[in-house]
Structure 1
Amino acid sequence: MAVGWIARATKILKTDATGHITDLVYWIAAPALLFSTIASADLDVVIGRPLVVAAASGVVTASVFALIARLTMRPAVGDLTVGAMSSSLNNAAYVGIPIAIYVLGSAVHGVPIMVFQLGFFTPMFFVLIDLCTPGITLSILTIVRSVVTNPMVIAAFLGFLCAAVSLDVPPLIANATEMIGQSAPALVLISFGASLVGQRLTVRSQDGHMVILASCFKLMVQPACAFGAGLLLGMDGHALLAVTVMGAMPTAQNAFIASARAGVGNHIAQGTVLITTIMSLPVTVLIAWLFHLAALV
């Protein structure tokens, strides 16, 4: 993020560079990462209670956020959708893996949530936000076209197809998609940092209120939902701690990519990504401490 901010502030990156980087991530790098991650996943290991917890906590968090924001602030549909995405979409890969290793001792706990978030949640939100783009006339044809032409949806479908039939992706394709996909985190962070130059967010504005609400949901409500869902599914000990900690991951930068492409909710995505990225590690350490204090692990 700092590199992106410095590059834009010193005019190394031009005004329109953020848009070009965003398009590169959306159409090429992120789909490559999506396909590479899902195609190489062992679905027999991934599918289980942690995946159900990831799905339940994500859907409940996004839905309750949307309801409360709609009733209290009445934002535009695009802003509401970006807010819901920012409140529930986990950065389980780039930030989640280091935190999982630090707090939980293993990166394997991030795999189920990555599969759900990348395979289902992220494509769904990208389609919804695309449909909120100004000038779009909603119709059945528009919705179907948005789904079948969305690069995230296509990459997720192909990845699940390969994983489901245990298809060995040819090394040339596998290596290329993995290499291109690995560029996505850096490109997103550079683009995000560059977009912050000259931006100011007033806490008393509606966008400021949305950022605060989305950040609270991301860091408090979603891990609480994950904890509750885990209990209902009979999880305990380290397994319950793992799903709770993974629920407290920061907002994924894909929320920023989606908002930047559609031209809606930019400040909401920027603010929530920044706050949750800074606060996520202290929150996860606090969760681990509370589990030990309550003798749950």
Structure 2
Amino acid sequence: MKGLVCLLLLLETFVFVNGGLNENEISQQLSSEDRRQNPPQTDTLRAEASTDSQQYCHLCFPDIHAALRELTATVTEQKANIRALENRLRDAEQAAEQQTISLEELKKKTDETSNLTLSQVEELRKENRDREIAFSAGLMESGSGDVGPFTTEITLTYRNVFTNIGNAYNPITGVFTAPLRGAYMFRVSVYGIGPTQASASIVKNGERVVTAYDAQAQGGLNSSNGVVLILEVGDVVYVRLWPDRRIYDHSQNNHNSFSGFLLFPLREDELCRM
């Protein structure tokens, strides 16, 4: 600054001595002098700015690249996770759809089984009702007295019915008719007062099977017998009193009785094996 002041003083002196300089000349001289004393710093500033920029880039760019690499890795990982989740979701949807189909099939089978079970239960009920076959009856429905003797064999009618499940026994005719193929148990009992002979037989389809027999000169006599028979549907079983035989009964004591019941039904193949 001091140099500039001195320069101005010299110029004034010079102008005064030489008759003066014009304003442009003075300005040019001042500019020249100023450049000489204060050379431009543009290049230096530019160099410093470039150096600072390089240093800043040198410091920042590695961090940016690292961040970019880390971000890229994170994005890639997230994409992989998304794909995995999409695959799991697709698998879950397929599994749910399969389970829905399985549940529908199970429900359908359950309904069919339920209907089948109900049908089977009803069939079993009907079959059980068919199997409920049993009867038992006494000879006299009321009073007391002798039956016989007769010159020919006769069918005894047991009219005092105790049990007749299935209504297979007819108390009017004294005949049992098999409603179901199967094995049946029959029993007969006879009673008389001597002197007499008591003889009665269980008959199947007109053929004598077993006989209950007793003879006594005096006093009471009794006998019984039983048999298991294989009957087809429609086979008949009844009791026949022998000729010249006499039995005695009392409606309250029921000395003479005829009973039968189904042991179990038989299928066709079981009958063939027999």
With a CA cutoff of 8 Å and minimum separation of 6, indicate the structure with the bigger relative contact order. Answer: 1
Structure label with greater radius of gyration: 2
Greater helix fraction, Structure 1 or Structure 2 = 1
Q: TM-score range by the shorter chain?
A: under 0.3
Greater strand fraction, Structure 1 or Structure 2 = 2
